[in-house]
C-alpha cells in the first residue's frame, strides 16, 4: 500500500532528449513537491505545488516543468536533457494544516543522462 509512488525507478537517456517522471500519492494530501538529490546526497527542492500556487525554486532551469492533472498527481517534465541533470529525483507530499506537518517521500527516480 504505497503512499507516494514514482515511475520509472530508473531512467537512462541520451543528452537532448525530453523525458517525464510520474508521481502519485494516495494520502489525500493537497501539496506535492519535487526534489533533486545530487551525488553528494544533498536534497534540494525544485517545486512545490498545491491547488492554489506553484512555487518554483529560482535556480531550477525552465527546461523543468511540473504538471498536475489532479490533486493526487504531480509529474515532472524535462526538456533537452543535459549531463548535469543526472541525479535522483524525489517526489513528496504533505498536508497543509495537519498536526504533523511534514513531507512523505517517494522511492526516487534515478536519472542518468549519457
At closest approach, how far in Å is the CB of 16 from another protein?
27
Residue among 42 and 61 whose Cβ is closer to another protein: 42
**Segment 54 to 113, residues that bind another protein, using CB under 8 A:** 55, 90, 92, 94, 96-97, 100-108
Q: Which of 4, 23, 32, 111 binds another protein (CB under 8 A)?
A: 4
Q: Which of 11, 21, 47, 48 binds another protein (CB under 8 A)?
A: 48
For residue 108, CA distances in Å to 21, 31, 53, 93, 96 come to 10, 18, 24, 13, 23
At closest approach, how far in Å is the CB of 94 from another protein?
5
Long-range contacts of 49-57 (CB under 8 A, 24+ apart): 49/74, 50/96
Q: Does 45 interact with another protein (rule: CB under 8 A)?
A: yes
Q: Which residue has the cell 516543468?
A: 65
Amino acid at each position: 500500500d504505497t503512499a507516494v509512488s514514482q515511475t520509472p525507478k530508473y531512467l537512462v537517456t541520451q543528452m537532448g532528449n525530453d523525458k517525464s517522471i510520474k508521481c502519485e500519492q494516495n494520502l489525500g494530501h493537497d501539496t506535492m513537491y519535487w526534489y533533486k538529490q545530487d551525488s553528494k546526497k544533498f536534497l534540494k527542492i525544485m517545486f512545490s505545488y498545491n491547488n492554489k500556487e506553484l512555487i518554483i525554486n529560482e535556480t531550477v532551469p525552465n527546461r523543468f516543468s511540473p504538471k498536475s492533472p489532479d490533486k493526487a498527481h504531480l509529474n515532472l517534465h524535462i526538456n533537452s536533457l543535459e549531463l548535469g541533470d543526472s541525479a535522483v529525483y524525489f517526489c513528496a507530499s504533505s498536508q497543509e494544516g495537519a498536526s504533523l506537518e511534514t513531507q512523505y517521500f517517494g522511492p526516487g527516480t534515478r536519472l542518468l543522462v549519457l
